[in-house]
A = this chain, B = another copy of it.
Amino acid sequence: MAEQIEFDQAHQALQEVSEALENGRFVHVRRQLQDMEPEDIAHLLEASPRKSRDVLWQLTDPEDYGEILDELNEDVKDALVSKMEPEVLAEATEGMDTDDVAYVLRSLPDNVSREVLSQMDISDRLRVETALSYPEDSAGGLMNTDVITIRGDVDVDVVLRYLRIKGELPEATDALYVINEDSQLIGQLPITTLITTQPDVKVSDVMADADEAIEVTMSDSDIASLFERRNWVSAPVINEHQHLVGRITIDDVVDVIREDAEHSMMSMAGMDDDEDTFAPVFKSARKRSIWLGANVLAALAAASVSNMFEATLEQMAAIAVLMTIVPSMGGVAGNQTVALVIRGLALGHIGDANRRELLAKEAAIGLVNGIMWALIIGGIVVAWKGNWMLGGIISAAMLTNLLVAGIAGVTIPILLKKMNIDPALAGGMALTTVTDVIGLSVFLGLATFMI
């Protein structure tokens, strides 16, 4: 109940803080920010227009900077970090998880990042440098180095006493890792096993085996898929010599899952998934222009097709009026298939073994819907324009285009993936170009031939 209220408050905080900012009640805002959790301040910053965002950042307790930065969307984080002094940044990252510090530092220019690192104490610096040496989207970039290791030949009681002396465990610790004298991972001891086992039992007798360790080079999407399927809370990371090098926790994996899913949705609309909701106008305009430029080419391709049939269009204006319907339906139907295939590829459901079945199924759906909408649209055109020939032509073009849409909707994303081009980014536009060109060619071609 308390949490429900708190949750609604998070939605309201934005409203309150903006009002207080507008009225210049900075002391009030500072006090409000002090009462908020870092993750809620991050949310507030992301939801704030850029002017208020800078003011809010100034009013935030620098002690919270590190944790807030870690929770921020990449573009928002980069904008804030670029204005911070290296000393403030170094201080902010104190006590943070290695992978989170690496996330904050990754976007900095090399010389600034070196300066921040030089301000850290030596052991922190070494750990962060190790994290930075792995690609951001690999296990090495995602992992934390704060693991608790134990030996297999000790009793459970010894482990418990060791932990009591240690006093505090790293966040989301659900297992201790058992290593041999060469620091190789040989097993793990889930904490739930630890507390349900008699004190005099040896660790090696109750530990789970280590075959679920993640290679340090594994990609973050593959890791997310493993966590999702295995319902893990954390997993150990090993290098090529089986040495334990860190651990990955579910909270970081959840971010990967969210980002991967957002990436598909935003890419399909031609947007960068890092884009800040309140990004600067010119920066956004430039980013989005690339996509608009691609669409100009697609639109000109379609116009060139119509251009070839200029004589037909001159002869009968009704053809020009109707010529947008067939490409439009083909684009919508094809994009339904593209969305299904992109999801299937992302989930690993589509491979060599079932491509043919998928193609046959989508072509069949194209045929079924093609026949249905050919009849309906043909009927509407006959009723509207009183011209049976026009109705027949649009029906034939519709059927052809929906069939093409089904086939292209399966083949285009799969081909793009084979060519290492992101199907979510390029699939929709490539598909629309195909359905525009084919739809217009068939409709105008038939019209030229028949009328």
- How far is the CB of A220 from the nearest CB of chain B, in Å? 13
Range, interface on chain A: 35 or more
Q: A372 near B289 (CB under 8 angstroms)? A: yes
Per the bound structure, the CA–CA distance linking A231 and B163 in Å amounts to 23
Q: Does A350 contact B (CB under 8 A)?
A: yes
Once the chains bind, are B321 and A324 in contact (CB under 8 Å)? no
Q: Is A11 positioned at the interface, with any CB of B under 8 Å from its CB? A: yes
With CB as the reference atom, state the residue of chain B lying closest to A305: B321
CB distance from A425 to the nearest CB of B (A): 12
Q: Does B270 lie within 8 Å of A335, measured CB to CB?
A: yes
For A191, the chain B residues whose CB sits under 8 A away are: 191-192, 195
B349 touches A284 (CB 8 A): no
Contact partner of A281 among B282, B288, B324, B365, CB < 8 A? B365
A373 vs B295: C-alpha distance when bound (angstroms): 11
A154 to chain B, nearest CB (A): 15
Q: Contact at A196–B340, with CB atoms within 8 Å?
A: no
CA distance A343 to B406 in the complex (A): 28
Among the stretches A104-112, A115-123, A296-304, A414-422, the one at the interface with B is A296-304
Q: Which residue of B lies closest to A192 (CB)?
A: B169
| A446 within 8 Å of B (CB atoms) | no
**A214 beta carbon closer than 8 Å to chain B:** yes
- Determine whether the beta carbon of B321 is less than 8 Å from that of A288: no
Residue from the list B218, B314, B320, B365 in contact with A4, Cβ < 8 A: B218
Q: Is A242 among interface residues, defined by CB-CB distance under 8 A? A: yes
Q: Are A340 and B11 within 8 A (Cβ)?
A: no
Number of copies: 2
Residues of B within 8 A of A46 (CB): 347, 349
- Taken together as a complex, chains A and B put the C-alpha atoms of A295 and B351 apart, in Å, by 32
A130 at the interface (CB under 8 A from B): no
CB neighbours (8 Å) of A347 from chain B are: 43, 46
Chain B hits for A7, CB < 8 A:
218, 222, 225-226
Of B173, B298, B329, which contacts A296 at CB under 8 A?
A: B329
- Tell me which residues from 253 to 269 in chain A have a Cβ below 8 Å from any Cβ of chain B: 253-255, 257-258, 261-262, 264-266, 268-269
Most B C-beta atoms less than 10 A away, residue of A214, A302, A353: A353
**A325-347: contact bitstring with B at CB < 8 Å (1 yes, 0 no)?**
10111001101101110111001
Q: Are B281 and A364 in contact (CB under 8 A)?
A: yes
Question: B194 and A169: CB pair below 8 A?
Answer: no
> Which of A25-33, A55-63, A81-89, A271-279 forms part of the interface with chain B?
A271-279
Is there a chain B Cβ closer than 8 Å to A114's Cβ? no
- Docked Cα-Cα span, A137 to B167, in Å, equals 39
Task: Kindly identify, within residues 19 to 70 of chain A, every residue whose CB is under 8 Å from any CB belonging to chain B.
Answer: 19, 37, 39-40, 43, 46-49
- Flag whether A149 is at the interface (Cβ < 8 A): no
- Report which residue of A212, A265, A298, A380 has the largest number of chain B beta carbons within 10 angstroms of its beta carbon: A265
- Contact indicator A211/B2 (Cβ below 8 Å): yes
Determine if B49 and A357 form an interchain contact, defined as CB atoms under 8 angstroms apart: yes
Check B211–A196 contact: CB distance below 8 A: no
CB–CB A324/B299 < 8 A: yes
Q: Assess whether B213 is in contact with A2, with CB atoms less than 8 Å apart.
A: yes
How would residues 138 to 169 of chain A score, 1 for a CB under 8 Å from any chain B CB and 0 otherwise?
00000000000000000000001001101111
Do the beta carbons of B215 and A1 come within 8 Å of each other? yes
Judge whether B211 and A3 touch: CB under 8 Å: yes
18 contacts between A and B (CB under 8 A): A1-B240, A2-B213, A3-B226, A43-B348, A46-B347, A47-B351, A169-B196, A257-B258, A265-B265, A265-B268, A269-B339, A271-B336, A278-B358, A288-B369, A300-B325, A302-B328, A310-B321, A320-B323
